[in-house]
Chains A and B, each alone.
Chain A
Amino acid sequence: MTTRQFLISAWDWNPWVIAICVAAILIYGAWPRFRFSRKFGWLLAGMAVFFLTLASPIDALADGYLFSAHMSQHLLLLLVVPPLILLSLPSTPVPDRSQIGRWKWLNWIVWHPVPTWCLGVGGMWLWHAPALCNAAVTSAWVHRLQYVSLLLMGFAFWWPIIGPWSKQRLSPLAGIIYLFSACIGCTVLGIIITFSPVEVCSIYLHPLDRLGILPLIQNQWGLTPAKDQQLGGLLMWVPACLIYFCGILGLLARWYGKAYDEAIIPESQLTKTLIEEPHVH
């Protein structure tokens, strides 16, 4: 099989994935105040990435062949799809109190930065514990659970940064610290995976060649299991940090943008007297 044949044939037209994409776009379009705007573009981009992650050849490769493909899926579901969808939501300054009453505990999780940070960064670490990483490839249910949990943790992680309720968002400096520390978190994991001499996910060491593409991967692409793991670690290390980095740039842009208001203090407090009398020295 050539690369071209593989790229054409390895699409998985999973009805669930297509249904979710279509449903999301229809629901968004059915919203009474719907307009064609940039926000709709974010939604389309989010759904496109979602579709590509789960239906394109990346998914076929992640299914037991390449750790690095699995890692790309992981990053896309955790760090790309959720923020794109959150960006598509209309922003309101305050949440509707009557709606959150019963969901207060959930609101705390998606609002307080400590639990959300732990979910976003912990999710990455958790699914790379060797046992869980292997189970996600061998068991279809664990596999689905992994996808859903990654998406949910991604939503939780990005909520304090770009959640729709602007009053609940972190202040820009705190947001920068939030994202930078997350970058350190995934850098450490990436470094460990990159330099680890043992397989993180041993299942990828001896792939079951159901599609007959193993010679293509190992001979033509030159991706031996060792190189594959290094690549996976580097994906977690560098591009993941670049996504957080984009978030930080977005925060800076928002901070310096004119929409951001600072607290107003009275004019009378504007002059500061350092010392009333001249200093004797």
Chain B
Amino acid sequence: MSAAASASAAIESPQPGSAARGLYSWVATVDHKRIGILYLLTALVFFAAGGIEALLMRIQLARPDNTFLSPDAYNQLFTMHGTTMIFLVVMPTLFGLANYLVPLMIGARDMAFPRLNALSYWLLPCGGLLLHFSLLAGGAPALGWFSYAPLSETPYASTPGVDYWGLSLLILGAGSVAASINLIATILTLRAPGSTIRRLPLFVWMIFVNSFLVILALPALNAAIVMLFIDRHLGTNFFAPTHGGSAVLWQHFFWAFGHPEVYIMALPAFGIISEVVPVFARRPIFGYEFVAGSTVAIALLSFGVWAHHMFAVGMGHPMDLFFAATSMLIAVPTGVKVFAWSATMWGGSIRLTTAMLFAVAFLIQFTVGGLSGVTFAVVPIDWQVTDTYYLVAHFHYVLFGGTFFAVFAGLYYWFPQITGRMLSERLGKLNFWMALIGFNTAFFVQHFLGLMGMTRRIYTYPDLPGWGLFNMISTVGAFLLGASVLVLLSNIIVSLRSGKPAGDNPWQAWTLEWAATSPPLAHNFDRVPPIRSRRPLWDLAHPQNPDPVVGGVAARDDFVLEKNQAGMASFLISEGMFFLMLILAYLFYNNHAMSGPTPAGTLNPQRAGIYTRCLLASSLTLWLAEKKLKAQKHSAFRLLLGLTILLGVVFIFGQGREYLRIFHEGVMVDSNLFATTFFTLTGFHGLHVCVGVIALLIVMGLALAGDFKQGRIEAVKSIGLYWHFVDAVWLVVFSVIYLRLLL
């Protein structure tokens, strides 16, 4: 390789270099395929942990009045099981598959930001270990995976378990948002020529939509956890009703994240099924447009249904009415998908491989879970069965019978592509039937237990007629399910060592990832085949009878984005949601009179107005600076950039002086809820201004070093985007906090 070529390769996609060998090469890797595999392996380790936790609980519940586990141990187990399975197993598995497959499916060499990609992965083991470290530090969190406040406030949860839970979720959340930003930028900007958005494989489509769900929903959780932290460590009262806080706000914030989260865990599974079913039914997907469009519909609706988790809280009839309606509505686009998959199989020549078996089981079990989900939209039924085993059965049908079965289908389908070896079909069938029987035995009877009134999250139950028997059946099923996972593991190990070599396209599939060798080259493809339709490999294999061309002979989407700006824009969308939550909290707590310091008595809107003008002026100077840079006027650019930094620093100092003045008046963050929300909101904004100033200083350093002389100004534009965003947020914050005092 010539020096020039290697230099350009290093710029295009950083590689660990030839020095990295063995285990170290995996630690240092920035290759999306290796990172994807790391995600999957890490998820597997945590899957074992979460599974063992589940089995321990099933042992405890096998008999009435059992004493195998203490109540406290049981509380810790169900909390850790839920948190582990959702944040450390399902999400990493889906991110792992997305990481591995998306660049291959769109004909890209790697993700848009390979180093960011490695960071998002390494945040996962960090978060996971931090969560489990709580076991050594005074006990695991024990409040359920949603850690309802005020139960999670210091007086009721004095051990640091909740803190570890919150910290690890913040870290995992940051990793998920980073991974999603990366996926959005990759899908928007790195598609091979001809791979228009309307021709994307449905898996990529769903990952694309899903990534937006992640960046929009996770900030709600992060904001809530931040408030909980401030409560626990600075003595404030966001969620303490005894001091004017709200006992319900946490639930709103949590479920505003939590319901989209359900779809974050389901959409990629839908994507897997949309790939597996057509290949093994030997027919193109029925109603591609409807499957893709209904994904968008589900994603949008998922933000408008969260309150159905709170029917039992007592929100009043109007709320119940509207959210019951939207919750029923969301079943429609999901139903569209189920019909599309069924119609794809109809009349196809179905090959019942293990992957297809899992996909078919997914279809049935997910429908069962979906239907029981619709029953929760009926408010009186929800009041009756909420927090019973009916609920447990419902979401396990969705998440295990649905998502996990889809993941197993995907694993059997893509394993040959990833490793170059086939998984054994004989062991696979055994694995499938054990999982199918085990899963349904374990969870179907729980519907009855729930209807009979058995509540979840209680460590034991009295010896009522039928309860002992049903619970024993459920436990037996759970162990069968556990054993099926052992079969899967042994299948993977055996096949890795002595599996049948796969060849490049063992299933005669049609999407682009199968055009690569199995396992793929480090750079994925030597040449990406031409893409004119949704099944490029079908066209390649059947030149006489190609698929209909979608949208023109050789089409390109009518928008072209730059990857840094696409990444920054999606990051800012996420940040915007975070600030929206803080602003809503401010409004929520400050729309009625309270004792203690008031906005009118504490704040000085005139002086804040002066600093506001500085910040707004800095947006103008930065905009001018960008124009100068574009015109190659470097000294003017540096001058204006310096001015921008100066104005930013003036704003920070102004805010600092305001803070000091307010402190001197005796108003602290824990004085009352006005002070708490004020300092939280403006403090987070100030933090963002500081980060912006640091970023501008780095840009300045690069400019002084002559880095932009060649016209590579994307970095400046991206940082500019961030700076304008921070200013725009301040404009809103200023209106919400200060402008009301001036009117």
Residues of A within 8 A of B (CB): 171, 173-174, 176, 180, 183-184, 187-188, 191-192, 194-198, 227, 230-231, 234, 237-238, 241-242, 245, 248-249, 252-253, 255-256, 260-267, 269-281
Contact = CB atoms under 8 A, between A and B. Distances in A.
10 contacts: A171-B558, A195-B588, A230-B319, A242-B326, A256-B198, A263-B558, A264-B556, A272-B192, A272-B528, A281-B18
Contacts of A275: 9, 109, 523, 526
B160 interface: no
B552 A262 contact: yes
Contacts of B316: 227, 230
A264 B18 CA distance: 41
A275 B10 CA distance: 12
A62 B549 CA distance: 54
Contacts, number: 141
A245 B322 contact: no
A279 B293 contact: no
A274 B318 contact: no
A276 B1 CA distance: 10
A262 B194 CA distance: 11
A252 B521 CA distance: 36
A236 to B, nearest CB: 11
A245 B297 contact: yes
A197 B9 CA distance: 61
A196 B591 contact: yes
A231 B322 CA distance: 9
A264 B555 contact: yes
A99 B591 CA distance: 50
Nearest to B588: A195
Interface in B501-520: none
Contact of A264 (B1, B522, B531, B553): B553
A29 B326 CA distance: 39
A198 B18 CA distance: 67
B289 interface: yes
B319 A173 contact: no
B193 A234 contact: no
Interface string B5-37: 100010000010010000000000000000000
B196 interface: yes
Nearest to B212: A180
B133 interface: no
Given A262-B196, A267-B554, A272-B192, 9 more contacts: A173-B197, A191-B584, A194-B319, A234-B318, A237-B304, A248-B296, A253-B293, A272-B527, A279-B522
B302 to A, nearest CB: 11
A227 B318 contact: yes
A231 B317 CA distance: 9
A269 B316 CA distance: 60
B580 interface: yes
A238 B304 contact: yes
B307 to A, nearest CB: 10
B193 A173 contact: no
Contacts of A231: 318
Interface of B is mostly: mixed
B587 A274 contact: no
Given A174-B559, A245-B297, A274 B524 contact: yes
Nearest to A233: B318
A171 B197 CA distance: 12
Nearest to B300: A245
A269 B554 contact: yes
A232 to B, nearest CB: 9
A275 B559 CA distance: 25
B114 interface: no
Contact of A188 (B293, B528, B556, B580): B580
Nearest to A180: B300
A262 B297 contact: no
A272 B584 CA distance: 48
Given A234-B319, A256-B289, A266 B554 contact: yes
B500 to A, nearest CB: 26
A176 B296 contact: yes
Contacts of B304: 187, 237-238, 241-242
A280 B587 CA distance: 58
A252 B296 contact: yes
Contact of A271 (B301, B529, B552, B591): B529
B571 to A, nearest CB: 15
A278 B592 contact: no
B551 interface: yes
Contacts of A171: 558-559
Given A248-B300, A252-B296, A280-B18, A271 B528 contact: yes
A198 B554 CA distance: 59
Contacts of B193: 265, 269-272
A234 B304 CA distance: 11
Interface string B551-577: 111111111000000000000000000
B346 to A, nearest CB: 22
B467 to A, nearest CB: 40
A238 B591 contact: no
| Among A173, A237, A241, A271: residue with most chain B CB under 10 A | A271
Given A230-B319, A231-B318, A270 B591 contact: no
A277 B107 contact: no
* Closest A-B pairs by Cβ, 7 of them: A256-B289, A262-B555, A252-B293, A270-B530, A262-B551, A272-B528, A238-B322
Nearest to A261: B552
B292 interface: yes
A161 to B, nearest CB: 15
B525 interface: yes
Nearest to A277: B1
B323 to A, nearest CB: 8
Contacts of A269: 193, 554
A242 B557 CA distance: 28
Contacts of B559: 171, 173-174
A195 B592 CA distance: 11
Interface string B661-703: 0000000000000000000000000000000000000000000
B313 interface: no
Contacts of B323: 238
B335 to A, nearest CB: 15
B318 A265 contact: no
B325 interface: yes
A274 B300 CA distance: 36
B293 A249 contact: yes
Interface in B523-555: 523-532, 551-555
A180 B213 CA distance: 12
Nearest to B326: A238
Contacts of B197: 173
A279 B18 contact: no
A271 B530 contact: yes
Contacts of A192: 584, 587, 591
Nearest to B329: A242
Contacts of A253: 293
Contacts of A176: 296
